[in-house]
Amino acid sequence: MLPKWSALLIGSAAATYVLGQFSVPAGTIVGPLIVAIIFQAAGFTVILPSYLVLLTRCGVGVLIGSAIPITSIIDHIMDGAVYMIGVLSVIAGATLIGIWFAKSPLLPGATAIWALTPGAATAMSLEAPCNACDIRIVAFMQYFRVLVIGVLGAILSSAYSAERATDPGGSATAFPSIAADLLQDPAPFLSFGIICITFLLVSALPMRSFALIMGIFLTLAVSILRPFRLSLSPFVVASLHYLVAWELGGRFQKHDVLVVFQTLPLSILATGSLVAWTAGVAYPFSIALDIDYLVAILALMPGGFTLAALSTGISGTGAEVVVITQALRLLIVMLFVPTINRAISKRLQMN
């Protein structure tokens, strides 16, 4: 038992390192996910204990909540309607694309709806089994989108940085890093404490299915009361990514790999459609907020946990717009979209 998990950890670390050398977005999830699938397909069962799965969901909730900038949202409250329209337009477009792809025989039931939900890739992959979806396809399509949009975001961010470098008036205060020094900042300790409290609450009460949401709301509540921004240590974040990847990869069987890769053409077409739709919505969004078009694309692009990658090279107001828009979409997706997805799925089944 121990050699198997040790080999899985070493293989995951090696895959993460290799992907990191090529600056692949979400490498700490994609690398361990690939390794876990290989292990599972080779006959080495990768199944996490139930308590560890629950703890992971609590941790992901705190991770999501800590990425939501409460103070910046207050500063931009006057433009709330513009942000809301932009985010809802992207969500609506993704939903329509998902409904169209739901007619494909390769995407059974509500799988297409959940696979194409914009943003919150980890959360949607974790929620998929509870909604009669094929989690293998949902996870593959979600993280395929994260990879593609992450790479596109890095390219656009570099282009924006190069453009601002030639503009003397384009300098601004750099957007603060989310990562914190454990010896100087109490935020990581407090965040880890919130994970533990969330775990104890959902374990003691009949609320296990709300672990993700509970973690988000407890983190937001503490963020409002505390004078500093909450964050998790890089080690804890990487550990959460590994556990999520192993849980998802452990659901694959040997014959599942072929099934998943049969959806690759659909994944490419769906991601391209979503990118094109988002680029169209970004133009009026940039005009309404009087921001650079590239910043508007980065802000609206549904990249999930590639938020940090998308913000690379952007500073000042541009970084705030990106983070606020991504955070707003994340909240809407987490709070309302699952209910909408379930309603759409029932309607599709009736037809």
pTM for the full predicted model: 0.62
159 three-state secondary structure? helix
C-alpha to C-alpha distance for 211 and 199, rounded to whole angstroms: 7
Task: List Cβ neighbours of 190 (8 Å cut-off, separation of 6 or more).
Answer: 222, 226, 230
Q: Where are the domains of the chain?
A: 50-246+254-350
36 three-state secondary structure? helix
DSSP bridge partners of 44: none
DSSP bridge partners of 315: 174
Backbone angles phi, psi at 315, to 5 degrees: -135, 170
28 three-state secondary structure? helix
187-204 helix and 211-225 helix, angle to the nearest 10 degrees: 140
Neighbours of 262 (CB within 10 A): 11
pLDDT (tens place) for every residue of the chain, 351 residues total = 567 889 999 999 999 999 888 877 667 877 888 898 888 878 788 888 889 989 988 998 888 777 666 766 666 777 888 999 999 999 999 888 888 877 766 666 667 777 777 765 565 655 555 555 666 777 777 767 766 765 566 556 556 555 555 554 444 433 334 344 444 567 788 888 999 999 999 988 877 767 877 887 888 888 878 666 678 888 888 898 899 888 877 766 666 667 667 777 887 888 888 889 988 999 999 999 888 887 888 788 876 444 443 344 444 556 677 767 877 887 787 778 777 877 776 776 666
Residue 46 in contact with residue 250, Cβ under 8 Å? yes
Locate 330 and state its tokens: 């994340």
Residue 77 in contact with residue 321, Cβ under 8 Å? no
